[in-house]
Structure 1
């Protein structure tokens, strides 16, 4: 049990004993004591005054006296500042903790809680390689999965591959038109990159064709449109030329975007892609064969990238296997009256009564949309695992989509609906702005990996910290530092926030970075290497007698908080909580290690003032190294033994 849990239990028991009032542990608020006051932990007294019928200061005095008298191994003393009771924790508690922690190679790991969670992340499209946005997604999904495991959940890491749809047909069509039989083997290009090149080629041609149609529309020529689409484009054209719209750049921009999208859909090359999609859904053997071939190139490329990043999955789902299940769900929904069919044969659901809009769930030509396959996948996932929670790691651009998905499943009475949750995260941008797949301006994950490793190499060599390393050890070190820098930088920010990724900033050995923490771990290990295996083994059951100095106690306290940090990270689905904690560990140890007075190191290990102090600081150093390693492991980051 953590010290905070122990304090809460003791305080709840004290309230019941002093005031004969039932009081639960959950009602006790405990915080770390502010640096300007004496003590380590502070209880907020105000909630107890309604039972004591006394002033907060008097209530705090009574509660503090009771805790000291009845919890001798926990509370050594107290002081009251207004409505806050500051507690000094008994030294024996901290010494007992460090002795017990020395026996635990996996701090923070909680027993199984009987709950099952599926975490779906990555979800790449097979028309392009993984890019920088996918990196944040993958790192978040992997880390949240590890954090859930550490908190006792059974976790299934899942990846839903978007392997079908109009975007896939775009790459296929462009390859048919321009590749002349090119393959990854013949071109020497990694499979996912080769397919992505043809997606960009398609979009380039589409953009050129769309510009002609847009130009015609802006000049009042609507020859490419007919029926409802023609009525809509004429209406947009009319709106665009109204004086009030022309005076409002934002509104005019939105209308132009609508015209642009309608024009894109009327291009010749887009019409060909739509025909190919219909052929794919009809099972055309030639289209299906090309699809399988090109997807196989992409999967081989993905696998290499995942392996290098240390990303893994327990279960793979493919939209090509789930979109028909989604169509079945739509048909059942029609029969139940949950969905309705429009004149053009498309199927919709009306969510206006729920404060949302009408939502398309099946196109008029019978082809599916994203929500169709997501309905099918949700049902399949639940049938496979009957998990308590199904967590989707998807960017905040899809907030509305997941609201709609959960609501539709609830209206259908589907058992999967209850557990659906969306870990919504902000998009990643580079210092020069947002990336765009259509325009080929995305930063490929593989290119980013190479850049990070190259930057790590130049930084470590400049600092002269690589003496005595073999070529193989150097390659491994640079990869560890480069990937660690990238993962930490993308995880240290609250997932809900958008962020700008700066590769150069991420690798600073002196900042709030992964390499700073990695270097701190290596520094601790270098201290431990000064002692023999026998020296370290002798610490197993050692009992200390010396008084703890302030920073010795502080380091033990911070390590003891790991359990609570883990719980907070799990509740918030936020690896940033772990990242901040890992940085605090490293920063505090560095301050401890470097603390001087009159030119001498106060907390020296080898030159400690007594044998007891030497062993105590050795134990603290070992504890720090292990906790840093475990915290960084939850982020998917390795820590080197030396740097």
Structure 2
């Protein structure tokens, strides 16, 4: 549905109620929806709110308003009433005008800059191990939300807060120091993040052996965990790092450098990027000034042990520690300081944190504290919470046997795409380089689409084999539809002109295609407003599905009437453009040929 006809129908329905029944119906009470597929029509007006003015049955009220609208609006070709629903059929002239005056224009679906700045923070990896399946969903969500918001007119900053300090980092460093025998990415051929992750696992195994030995010597589980020599060495290393010990700092810089190189390769393969990096090693001391500010204003209070707290019981939460008695930070201290740092640097109107739903409580507390501190910008903070990703058991083996490695999963997706594409014989005439590029495009498109088509809040089950399917609700189906359209346009040697030709009559399939294509700006607005790539993903599937019906039911290249042929080619070109742009907002490439 296009904006213009929606607004026109709302305005004219209000006028109809005034003319017919002498009553003032508020615009907000006129509800429009797309007509259900089993009924004739394009737009449905819900009649029930009007019956209190008409004092008639819903059916009779619908007929009254339908007659009035048909008499007063040339865009309406007819109507029918099903109970309390008035189904409006729009005229061919309306649809053709929509194509010529809107859809084929280069500016269709483009939004002007809205003057607002927005930050999307995503990824936030730890530098002690590689990215995994959960990080993939995080990165894809963050990148896609940022791209959709840019399309809607925001000035967007993509940020990554890297967790590059702490005891978990020291565990990898210590294990490499003790057991590494000088291994490097260069002399092992391992990606840097995989090498460092290997030693995180080595530490864990050695630590468990020490715990078991201490338990056998008579210590409790808790005592053994605290007294194991390895954990004490790791804690000492963290203290040395915080004290600026040269040897520890140099080792930390070297191993983090390996990890960053590895991360960059993964990010490139995944197709995501960032405008700004923040590092926890630079931000972990931030926030103490804010704590003092809160103590002075009475937002925080201090206990006898000098620890600082905030009481959130009136808000249905609990008392929250914001600074330890010894003056050291907790996570919330750092997050308060980092939030202030980001705002001071970019002055953004809104800031979105893309973080899993296990942190829901943390962000509720963080945002509430900032509001209580009088930070006016805190109203623009939003936690984009998402659910975990599961795999069917046995579908993939992780390198460490616990989590699914992002690089392994992407490699398997490309390999699966290769096998499926070759089975279907879709590589005829392509060079080896073109084939490799196609397998990557399809494999990554399958992965991204499957993860993004589901509402972020929902936990999802990802099946690699199901995702690489050229039929059904998948990325490859949409990619193949785009390649099919491009093939049609190449054969016709077609280019979009300033105005499409005007056929004598439109088919139902042409009307359906125009209707779904005309929704494109609305979908961008909805996806941006709700921070939901799923809106865009499900829309582009509808475009592909509707185009395929049109393609199978209507002749395009062999249409006898030249005006009909040219009009259908224009529709095809618009469909290809909207599919490519919509998939691009999901971070998905579409092939020109398959």
Shorter chain as denominator, the TM-score bin is: over 0.9
Alignment of 1:136-535 (within 5 A): 136-212=137-213, 264-342=225-303, 346-364=307-325, 366-432=327-393, 441-533=402-494
Residue deviations 1:311-356, cap 9 Å, x none? 1112211122222212332333344443345566544333333322
Alignment of 1:519-558 (within 5 A): 519-533=480-494, 536-537=495-496, 539-558=497-516
Structure 1 position 483, deviation (Å): 0.8
- Contact 1:203–1:438 (CA<8 Å) still a contact in 2? no
- Contact 1:105–1:626 (CA<8 Å) still a contact in 2? no
Q: Does 1:49 align with 2:7?
A: no
SS at match of 2:384: strand
- Contact 1:157–1:313 (CA<8 Å) still a contact in 2? yes
Structure 1 position 24, deviation (Å): 4.6
Q: TM-score, normalised by structure 1?
A: 0.86
User: Which position in structure 1 is the counterpart of 2:556?
Assistant: 605
- Contact 2:31–2:46 (CA<8 Å) still a contact in 1? yes
SS at match of 1:317: strand
- 1:521 to 1:368, Cα distance in 2 relative to 1, 3 A: same
**Is there any run of 5+ residues in structure 1 with no aligned partner, and where?**
225-258, 596-602
* Distance in 2 separating the partners of 1:266 and 1:329: 36
* Distance in 2 separating the partners of 1:173 and 1:114: 49
- Contact 2:103–2:518 (CA<8 Å) still a contact in 1? no
Structure 1 stretches (4+) deviating beyond 6 angstroms?
433-439
* Distance in 1 separating the partners of 2:565 and 2:411: 43
User: Which position in structure 2 is the counterpart of 1:75?
Assistant: 76
Q: TM-score, normalised by structure 2?
A: 0.93
User: Which position in structure 2 is the counterpart of 1:642?
Assistant: 593
- Contact 1:158–1:315 (CA<8 Å) still a contact in 2? yes
User: Which position in structure 1 is the counterpart of 2:519?
Assistant: 561
* Distance in 1 separating the partners of 2:123 and 2:19: 53
Alignment of 1:74-93 (within 5 A): 74-93=75-94
User: Which position in structure 2 is the counterpart of 1:8?
Assistant: 10
* Distance in 2 separating the partners of 1:508 and 1:362: 52
* Distance in 2 separating the partners of 1:356 and 1:140: 29
Structure 1 position 86, deviation (Å): 1.1
- Contact 1:455–1:507 (CA<8 Å) still a contact in 2? yes
Comparing 459-468 and 106-115, the one that deviates more: 106-115
Q: Paired residues, what number?
A: 592
* Distance in 2 separating the partners of 1:165 and 1:13: 66
- Contact 2:517–2:543 (CA<8 Å) still a contact in 1? yes
Comparing 517-526 and 609-618, the one that deviates more: 609-618
* Distance in 1 separating the partners of 2:228 and 2:302: 27
- 1:172 to 1:359, Cα distance in 2 relative to 1, 3 A: farther
Comparing 418-427 and 12-21, the one that deviates more: 12-21
User: Which position in structure 1 is the counterpart of 2:60?
Assistant: 58
SS at match of 1:456: helix
- Contact 1:200–1:437 (CA<8 Å) still a contact in 2? no
Structure 1 position 145, deviation (Å): 1.2
SS at match of 1:80: strand
User: RMSD over aligned Cα, in angstroms?
Assistant: 2.5
**Is there any run of 5+ residues in structure 2 with no aligned partner, and where?**
none
- 1:333 to 1:585, Cα distance in 2 relative to 1, 3 A: same
* Distance in 2 separating the partners of 1:588 and 1:278: 62
User: Which position in structure 2 is the counterpart of 1:584?
Assistant: 542
Structure 1 position 111, deviation (Å): 2.2
Comparing 20-29 and 441-450, the one that deviates more: 20-29
- Contact 1:378–1:416 (CA<8 Å) still a contact in 2? no
SS at match of 1:88: strand
- 1:263 to 1:382, Cα distance in 2 relative to 1, 3 A: farther
- Contact 1:429–1:435 (CA<8 Å) still a contact in 2? no
* Distance in 2 separating the partners of 1:107 and 1:210: 65
* Distance in 2 separating the partners of 1:435 and 1:461: 22
SS at match of 1:529: helix
Structure 1 position 130, deviation (Å): 1.3
SS at match of 1:511: coil
Alignment of 1:14-25 (within 5 A): 14-16=16-18, 18=20, 21-25=23-27
Structure 1 position 403, deviation (Å): 0.8
- 1:437 to 1:457, Cα distance in 2 relative to 1, 3 A: closer
Comparing 83-92 and 632-641, the one that deviates more: 83-92
SS at match of 1:393: strand
Which of the residues 567, 584, 590 maps onto 1:633? 584
Structure 1 position 213, deviation (Å): 5.5
- 1:205 to 1:355, Cα distance in 2 relative to 1, 3 A: farther
* Distance in 2 separating the partners of 1:437 and 1:400: 30
- Contact 2:104–2:574 (CA<8 Å) still a contact in 1? no
- 1:165 to 1:416, Cα distance in 2 relative to 1, 3 A: farther
- Contact 2:501–2:564 (CA<8 Å) still a contact in 1? no
* Distance in 1 separating the partners of 2:275 and 2:13: 44
